[in-house]
Amino acid sequence: MAKEKDKISKSQASEYTAKDITVLEGLEPVRKRPGMYIGNTASEGLHHMIWEVVDNAIDEAMAGYCKNIVVRLLPNRMISVTDDGRGIPVDIHKKAKKSALELVMTKLHAGGKFGDSGYKVSGGLHGVGVSVVNALSKYTKAEVKRDGKLWIQEYERGKPLKKVAPKGSAKGTGTTITFQADPEIFTVLDFNLETVHDHLRQQAYLTKGVKISAIDERDPKLVTSYNFYFEGGIASYVKHLNNHVEPKNENIFYVDKEEADTRVEIALQYSNEYNENIFAFANNILNAEGGTHLIGFRTALTRSLNNYARKQGYLKEKDENLSGEDSREGLTAVVSIKVVNPQFEGQTKAKLGNAEVKPIVDAITYDALNTWLEEHPRDGEAIIGKCVLAQKARIAAHAARETVLRKGAFEGLTLPGKLADCSTRDASRSELYIVEGDSAGGSAKQGRNREFQAILPLRGKILNVERARLDKMLANNELKSLVIALGTNIGEQFEIEKLRYDRIIIMTDADVDGAHIRTLLLTMFYRYFPEIIRQGHLYIAQPPLYSIKKGKEVTWLYSDTDLEDYKKKNKILEQDLIITEETETDETENATAETAESKQPEKSAKLNIQRYKGLGEMNPEQLWETTMDPASRIMKKVTVDDATKADEIFDILMGSEVAPRKQFIHSHAKSVKNLDI
């Protein structure tokens, strides 16, 4: 048997030869595996095309050659990005024997960011930016103003249509890249103006003194223009991020200093909130996973605050030092560095790895913050007061959490009594329904599949965790039951691997109270269990609003829009419908039906429509069929596409400040249809 296996392996080896090795030339690798270069071919990857071109213009701005950047959304799903920088070189490259412009547009790892003469600081150091955009575009045009001439080259799916050639004279210098995303590559082709605005605004904050404009020309009859320019840089960014909260320190701490070819720019401000918002950037690229610059900042922040608190007597000799967690509660900060040779982890550049950056950021932050605290004693007192209060709450929360865990240990890790658990112990198959109210919980418990579906009913509205610390949260019986049911623990002891259910499903009534409870639960998950959301475990159930009975046939409709579509499709008039609430008595329904029927024309549809305001109004069979059966149910998966925007919305809706919430309601009130109070 061993000899037979050996023969097979040798035979297979002899069949695998040099002819089986594929060599992809030029930009072919990009078109073959676009996800490796832009993340995906959906909306995120589509917008990443704009960011790649804008990054080149930002690099010119950071080098001091560009003051204006214009992004245009054009008809036919085309985008153009114009800058007034030096313009991509157009002269013949000695080694490649072709124009430098064509080289940059058609070759990977070709650009001015690898040698010493192009850019001292740059974001696009992988050198794949504009060539990747060209490769993944149906059509691209590069226009360069240099040497008093306008140079142009056009491309089709990355391949030049003609050689680089001048086309008339031109004043000034700069580059314009126009592209149309390839429908053969992308599953989404429409650009979102708000997404574009958010990114350009962020880049303008990070590159102070540069004007970035976004012009929407997709509808020639309705052209809109937005300009982003911030002289205050990231200090203005922090002010923007804290727009909806009450600040603790009136003056924003800001430092901008260069050391050993590394420029460090930091701004911070505390608020009355409990969460921290720190955004770290290296060469204008957001490092979602932080890195050495963030470590240096956090270390210096905690050390500096402890030093000041001891010096001013806010912390006595017997008191323990503030922890990193204490020093960052309610903190909003932006850490932006410019480094000559950044070492990013992966093409997505999510984390900075330069070891030499940490001590530089640490030293600059520590020295500048010490000086600032001395110069702003009132702000210093407010910040330390906030941190000391956070320390006391942390100690109390630790004790509360220990009580929860200790109680669970004494009871043999007993799950909450109200939890109707599933029989399977395979977490990958199981799901937990968080249900509003005991009546809905009763229907759900009877209608579920006991093998893999668990039910946890909640009584009334849970605590708003946006306005409460962890110790108060764990004192709430409803939330305590939920934490124990999840099995992950909470806070710094959270472990996603111990999650007892693969799907956590929020199931609330289709009314205002249900929406409020759903928002409270989403706030709790976003603040204390973000990893559950990030790993795709949180869902929102979609119970039906209406059932339409026609004879023995029942049709379920999940929204008012579905009802309107049903009426149009079946040519049903308003007077043909009998709409009743589930809670109405049979006598009322019959009387209504008789009255309505007497008014019907002979060809009336005679449809009885039932509206369900609450889950408890459905019997177990109906709830299973419409909302819980995996074969027929509809669920929404909860994701956080833009953490900054999500955090801002949670602050507005659930925070302590009333004015921003009132403004939000006024702004969006008209867009709400069929509000059921």
564-581 pLDDT, tens digit each:
888 888 887 776 666 666
What is the structure's pLDDT at 161? 95
Least confident of 10-24, 126-140, 193-207, 425-439: 10-24
Q: 3-class SS at 465?
A: helix
**What is the per-residue burial (b if ≥16 Cβ within 10 Å, else e) of 321-343?**
ebbeebbbbbbbbbbbbbbbebb
Asked if residue 421 lies in contact with residue 481, where contact means CB atoms within 8 angstroms, the answer is: no
CATH 3.30.230.10 positions along the chain are 234-394
Sheet holding 453-458, edge to edge: 453-458, 431-436, 503-507, 538-541, 635-637
pLDDT digits (tens, 9 = 90+) for 59-97: 889 888 999 999 999 999 999 999 999 999 999 888 888
Number of helices (H) and strands (E), helices first, in the chain? Answer: 22, 25
Cα separation, 347 vs 187, in Å, equals 22
Q: Is the pLDDT of residue 29 over 60?
A: yes
What is the structure's pLDDT at 116? 45
- Residue 17: both structure tokens together: 């030869």
- Binding site, by residue number, is 436, 509, 511
CATH 3.40.50.670 positions along the chain are 415-543+637-644
Least confident of 148-157, 388-397, 471-480: 471-480
Cα separation, 9 vs 3, in Å, equals 10
- Residue 96: both structure tokens together: 């490649």
Cα separation, 33 vs 386, in Å, equals 50
pLDDT digits (tens, 9 = 90+) for 302-323: 999 999 999 999 998 889 999 9
Cα separation, 451 vs 353, in Å, equals 47
Q: 3-class secondary structure for 7-58?
A: HHHHHHHHHCCHHHCCCCCCCHHHHHCCHHHHCCCCHHHHHHHHHHHHHHHH
- Binding site for Mg(2+), by residue number, is 436, 509, 511
Residue 71 bridge partners (DSSP): 81, 214
pLDDT digits (tens, 9 = 90+) for 427-480: 999 999 999 877 788 889 999 999 999 999 988 778 888 777 777 777 788 888
Give 584's pLDDT tier (boundaries 50, 70, 90): very low
Least confident of 23-37, 208-222, 224-238, 255-269: 23-37
CA geometry: angle at 151 spanning 149 and 153, to 5°?
170
Bigger pLDDT: 349 or 546? 546
What is the structure's pLDDT at 465? 81
Q: Which residue's structure tokens are 């804290």?
A: 242
Return the percentage of the chain with pLDDT > 90, whole number: 48
* Statement: 234-394 belongs to CATH 3.40.430.10: no
Task: Report, as residue numbers or ranges, the catalytic residues.
Answer: 436, 509, 511, 513
Nearest C-alpha neighbor of 426 from the set 454, 403, 398: 454
Nearest C-alpha neighbor of 14 from the set 23, 6, 25, 22: 6
CA geometry: angle at 23 spanning 18 and 29, to 5°?
150
CATH 3.30.565.10 positions along the chain are 28-228
Give 606's pLDDT tier (boundaries 50, 70, 90): low
CA geometry: angle at 109 spanning 107 and 114, to 5°?
135
The CATH class for the domain spanning 28-228 reads alpha beta
Q: Is the pLDDT of residue 343 over 80?
A: yes
Q: 3-class SS at 359?
A: helix
Bigger pLDDT: 480 or 249? 249
Q: State the fold for domain 415-543+637-644.
A: Rossmann fold (3.40.50)
What is the structure's pLDDT at 566? 85
Average pLDDT for 326-333 = 95
